[in-house]
Structure 1
Amino acid sequence: MKLIKATEKDIPLIRDLAKRSWENAYAEILSKEQMEYMLNTMYSEDEISAHLKSPNYHYFLVFDENSNVFDGFLGYENHYENQTTKLHRIYLVPESKGKGLGKKTLEFLNEKTLESGDNRIILNVNKHNSAKKFYEAQGYKVYDEGVFDIGNGYVMDDFLMEKIIKVF
């Protein structure tokens, strides 16, 4: 597996990977209408393009060298808060599950967070998303929860999780 820095030319691929992973991850959690709304707003070409232009926001594509395919992506923002990187997006397509790519991607994020001078990673995870257990297994802990209005009558009902990265 390798992580490849994404550029503007990768926006269609990121959008496709998001759609494919969301259809699996959120099928039992969100209505089809909410999923479409969120994908069309949070993963619009304009939205991703704006992220890519920000010096602190980074996208990396998860490439499986064994099968020669892109299996997902990572989107994070250094210095989101003091000493804190925010993991905005980590998604893998369903057929990539169980390959250890998620764990390796989070280890990569740990390195990039420390390189930036941050030592804490935060993320939001839907309260009904089984990914919470995965994050806990990687050392993340719930520190709060929140309900966030995302427009069009929809909300995100999330746990807020954090991981403090120690320098050894």
Structure 2
Amino acid sequence: MDFKDYIRVIPDFPQAGISFKDITTLLKNGEAYRKSIEELKVMVSDLKIDVIAGPEARGFVVGAPLAYALGVGFAPIRKSGKLPYETIEVGYDLEYGKDRLAMHTDAIEKGQNVLIADDLLATGGTIATSINLIRQLGGNVVGAAFMIELADLNGRSKLDGIDVFTLMKYE
């Protein structure tokens, strides 16, 4: 299946010059969504994974079904102030501002192998921050899985050499 057939490309969103890759058209197609998760499962099946972590919000729609398919737990990574229990937080820079990500202090146990899952790898800032959080909790990041990679933005370079798995690459 060519998953790119299910991606809507929106020019000049959220700002001029950006070519936004919209996964909602893939998500609304049950067969394409199911097959994308199945394919990601195959890609990471050789890894020893104890838990999948996914940054909000689209990391939830990739990470949670992938965790289910693999029979492992899911740990949400949220924006600051969104989690109800004790958290750790890390700040990071965005293209046009700053943000903070948080995880519950008990989301990852020391020594657990963690796969990060998200819809898109662009500049790598969100995923690098996620790696930082997981490592602070004592987790071992064994890889990162994405539906889409925007290769020209070189996000892999920020991911500290971890293995990256993607269904689709855009140059």
Q: TM-score range by the shorter chain?
A: 0.3 to 0.5
- With the length of structure 2 as denominator, give the TM-score of the two structures: 0.32
Query: TM (normalized to structure 1)?
Result: 0.32
Task: Give the helix-richer structure, 1 or 2.
Answer: 1
